[in-house]
Amino acid sequence: MSPRTLRFIAENRIYIFLAVAFVFALIFIPDIRSVPALKNIMARASIEGIMAVGMTVVILSGQLDLSVGSVLALSGVVALGLQGDIGPIPAALVGIAAGGLVGVVNGALVVKAGINSFIVTLAAMIAVRGVATTLSDAAPIRGADASFGASVDRALFGPLVEQLGTFLTPRILIFLALLFVAHLFLLRVRQGRNVYAVGGNVEAARLSGIPTSRYTFAAFVFCGLCAGLAGTILGLSLNTGSPVVGADSGLRVIAAVVIGGTALTGGSGSMMKTLMGVLLLALVTTAMNQAAVQVWVQGIVLGTILIIVVLIDAIYSAWRTRLVIAGQLGSTRAVT
C-alpha cells in the first residue's frame, strides 16, 4: 500500500471500527436491528453526544475538561429541584446556565490565572460534585412536572412514518441539530477555523492576531453549556436529578472524542468523527447490555478498544513523522 492509502485508512479508522462493530452486533445480537434497540443506542448516544460536542471544541483548542460528569449531575439537580418554584422551562434554562457558569469559572482559571486545564477541571470535577450533593442533600430529587420531563423522549410528530417517527424525539433531535451546527461552525465560519489554529499552535495563532485567550475561554463556556444541556435533558427524561450520576462520564466522553479521531494534542479532528466515536461507544455498550454481557467483560472490551485505538494513533503518528521528514508525504494535517 502506498503511504497515501495508509494515511487515508489511519485517519478514517473510526469508520472501519464502526462498520466492524455493527457487523459483529448484527451477527451475534440479531435484536440489535429492532427499533427499540436502535432507539436505545440513539438515546444513549444523545446524552454522551451533547457532552462530546462541547468536549470536541475544548480538545480541538488544545485543552481538556474533566468536570463535565459533575456538571451533568449539577444541572439535573438544579433543573429538577427548581421545577416546583419557577416552573419547568425556566428551571431547565437555569440548569443549562449552571453548566455555563462552571465553564466560565473553568475558563477564567485557565486563561486568567494560567493554571493548567487538567488541574482546574479536576478541581472543578470534585467541587461541582460537592455542590450538586450539597444542593440535593445527597439524595435524588424528583421533578414536580413528570409529563414535562417525559416530553424529551416523546415522538414529536407521532409515528409519521411508522419506524422513523419514533426517532424524532426532542432529545435525539437536539443532539443532532447541535452537532450539525457545531460542525458547520467549525468548518465554514472564520471563528470556527480559528479554533483549529489555537489548538494547533497557540503561539502561531497569537502572532497572527487571533485573541487566543478569548477562544480558550469560550471553549470552556461552550463545553459547560453543553454538559449543562445534557444533564438537564437526562434529568428530565428520568424525572430525577441525581447527585451521583455521571461519575465516569467525563472520561467516557473524552474517550469517545479521541476514539472518533480528534487528537488530544489539539488542532486536529472534527465533529463528524466525534459523532462516529459516540455512536461506536453507544453501539458497543447497548449491544453488550442487550446480550447480557457481564459488566466486567464490558470493561475489558471497552478498555481494549481504547488501548488499540491509542496504540494505532501512536504508531501512525511516529510513522507519519518519519515519512514527512523523508519527504514522501505532505505535511498537511487533516482537519476534516
Partner 1 sequence: MLATQPGVESTTSVPLTGSARTRTLIQNYAIFLVFIVLLLLGALLSDRFLSTQNLLNIGQSVAFTGFAALGMLFVTSSGGFVDLSIPASMAASGIIALAVMPTLGVLGGIIAGVVAGIVIGLVNGILIGVFRTNPVLTTLGTNVAAIGISLIFTQGDIVYSENEFFSQFAQDRTLGIPHTLWILAAVAVVAHVILSNTVLGRWIYPTGGNYAAARAAGVPVRRVMVSVFVICAAFSAIGGILLASINESARSGAGAGQEFNAIAAVAIGGNSIFGGAGTVPRTIIGVLIVGVLNNLMILLGIPAESQNIVKGALIVGAVFLDLRLRK
- Contact residues for partner 1, defined by CB under 8 A: 64, 109, 113-116, 118-120, 122-131, 133-134, 137-138, 251, 254-255, 258, 264, 294-300, 302-307, 309-311, 313-315, 317-318
Measured CA to CA, the distance from residue 61 to residue 119 in angstroms comes to 17
Q: Which is nearer to partner 1, 166 or 249 (CB)?
A: 249
CB-nearer residue toward partner 1: 143 or 243: 243
Cβ of residue 249: shortest distance to partner 1, in angstroms?
Answer: 13
Cβ-based neighbour number of residue 17 at 10 Å: 22
Query: Do the Cβ atoms of 81 and 141 come closer than 8 Å?
Result: yes
Minimal distance, residue 116 CB to partner 1, in Å: 7
Q: Judged by CB, which is closer to partner 1: 86, or 311?
A: 311
Give the shortest CB-71-to-partner 1 separation in angstroms.
13
CB of 127 to partner 1, least distance (A): 3
* Helix (H) or strand (E) segment spanning residue 81: helix 68-81
Coil/strand/helix, residue 195: helix
| Residue number, 233 or 257, with CB nearest to partner 1 | 257
Return the SS3 of 141.
Answer: strand
What angle do the packed helices 212-238 and 35-60 form, to 10 degrees? 160
Name the minimum Å distance from CB 195 to partner 1.
20
CB nearer to partner 1: pick between 176 and 251: 251
**Which residues, 6+ apart, have CB-to-CB distance to 232 below 8 Å?**
75, 76, 79, 92, 95, 96
Task: Give the shortest CB-262-to-partner 1 separation in angstroms.
Answer: 12
Largest CA distance in the chain: 67
Please tell me the distance from the alpha carbon of residue 85 to that of residue 101, in angstroms, as a whole number. 21
Task: Give 265's DSSP letter.
Answer: T
Nearer to partner 1, 23 or 315 (CB): 315
